Amino acid sequence: MAGIQSLVGVTVLTLAMQAVWTVVGPKPPPIIVHDLRYEDGYIVQDRTITSDGPFKAIWSSEILNKATGDIVQGCTGSGVWDYEAGHKAPRIPLAEWVGNAACDLGPGVYIPIASYSAGEFHMIARGDEFDVAR
């Protein structure tokens, strides 16, 4: 009987501690970028918004030339966006993703970079290298 009471007590205590941790524990960042990659003229931005509602953030994006370490001229942009809560992996045309219709990549190896800011929150996501051949 004492063993059962101990097991019940430990279970109740564990559940109570989990409930407290959910309230006072660290919150996940408002946006998590799982993957950022280039596919045939598109950027796939696999992300999760962890808020209960839309997450309004200032975004910026750029394409880095791996060989030179420089940002590709015309392939950088910024703006403000209301990101819907939940997981999405939109496929966005490159020029739209950087917010600049002048973005045109010649042959080379590139890296997509995105940043997000809202209040004190700031994060940078660096994507996979990709090769453009013509």
For residue 39, name the pLDDT band (cuts at 50, 70, 90).
very high
**Is pLDDT of 21 > 60?**
no
Tens digit of pLDDT for each residue in 43-98? 999 999 998 888 999 999 999 999 999 999 999 999 999 999 999 999 999 999 99
Per-residue pLDDT, averaged over 125-132, amounts to: 96
The DSSP output letter for 100 is -
CA distance 109 to 7: 59
Domain 31-132 coded CATH 3.30.500: no
Q: What is the pLDDT of residue 25?
A: 72
Domain ranges of the chain: 31-132
pTM greater than the 0.95 cutoff = no
Q: What is the pLDDT of residue 15?
A: 59
Q: Are 94 and 105 in contact (CB under 8 A)?
A: yes
